[in-house]
Structure 1
C-alpha cells in the first residue's frame, strides 16, 4: 500500500502558484526531484485521471490497483538474484551500475484522492523500468528522450516542460543529435509500445528481457551515430 504521507489540498490559485514555483525552481536546478515531482502533480491531475481509467479497463491494470505494489527495495530486491537474461536482472544491473536506490523517489503530496496519489506514485516509480526496457542512459539526452515517451504514454504537461527545459541546456551538438536521432525514435517507440502504465512489471521480472520487449512492443534506443 502507498505509505501514509501528508497530502496537501490546494485551491486553484495555490495549485498554480506551486506549479509556477516548481517549474522555475526545476529549471534553475534540474537535480531537484522534489520540485519536478510537485510540478508533475500540480499540472497533471487530468492526465493521471485518464491513466487511472485506462488501468481500470485493463486486467493487469486492475490487478495493480487492487494490490498497489510499490517499487521499493523490500519489494523488488529479489531482482538482484535473478538469471542475467531476465528483465529483473537487467533492471537490477541498471540500478546497481548507477548506485541508484528504488527508495529515493519523493512522496506524492498534491493529489486529492488515494487512488490518484497511487497512480502518480506508480508513474514515478516505474520510470527506471522504462529506462531499462528502452536502454536509455540517465544523461540529459536519455532523460529527455524518455520524457517524450512518457508524454505519449500519459500526456503529462510536465514531460513537455522537461523536454523544453532539457533541450535548452543542450550544446549545439547535443541538440542536433537529439532532434535528428533520438526524438524521431522516441516518437515511434512511444506510439508503438503497449500501454506501459497497465503493465504489472514485477510479475514479469523472471521472464527473458527480449521476450518482454517483444510482448510489449518495446523498441530499444538506437546507438548514437559515430
Structure 2
C-alpha cells in the first residue's frame, strides 16, 4: 500500500508537467465550442508514449537494478538513500525566481505550438509525441517510480499494469478539467487562466521542487528498506 501511495503521488506530480497539464489547459482556453475528442486523443497519445517508454526502461533497468541490489545488498539501499538526500538538497539550489524569463519564453513557445496544432487531430498527436520526447530527459517522477518498481521483483505483466495505472493517474487532472469545462462552460475559465499564468511564470523553475519530492520518496523508500525507523 505504501508503494502504491508513493506511485500515486509521483503520478500526480507528473500530471503537472507542460505536456500533461499546460498544453491541455491551452487547448481548453481556446474560444468557441469545445470538442472533447482532440484533447482526449492528445492525452491518450501522451499516456501511451509514457507507458511504452516506461516499460522499455523498466525492461532494461529492472534486471540491472535487481542484480545490483543482490550484489550490493544493504549497501544498495544506502546508495539509494544518498541519492534521495542529494536530489532533495539539489532542489533548493534550483530557485524558480532565478529563471522567470526562461519560463515566460518557454510558455510562449508552447502556446505557439498549441495554436498551430489545435485545428488538426494529427497535429495534436505529433504535439503529444513532441511533448513526451522533450520531457523525457526530465521525467524525474516517472524515473523515480520506475526505480521504486524495480526493487519489488514484480513480473513484467504486473509492472506493465502498474505503469498503465500510473499513466492513467497522470492524465486524470487534465481530464477532470475537461469535464469541468464541458459542464461549467465559461465559468471555469478563470481557473484555467490562473493555471496557465502559473505555468508561464514557473514552468522552468518547477524542476527544483520536482527533484525535491522525488528525492524524498527515494530516501523514504531506502529508510523503510533499511529499517532505520524500526525501533522494535
TM-score normalised by the chain length of structure 1 = 0.26
Structure possessing the higher relative contact order (Cα contacts under 8 Å, 6 or more residues apart): 2
If you compute each CA radius of gyration, which structure gives the higher value, 1 or 2?
Answer: 2
Greater fraction of residues in helix = 2
Output the TM-score relative to the length of structure 2: 0.26
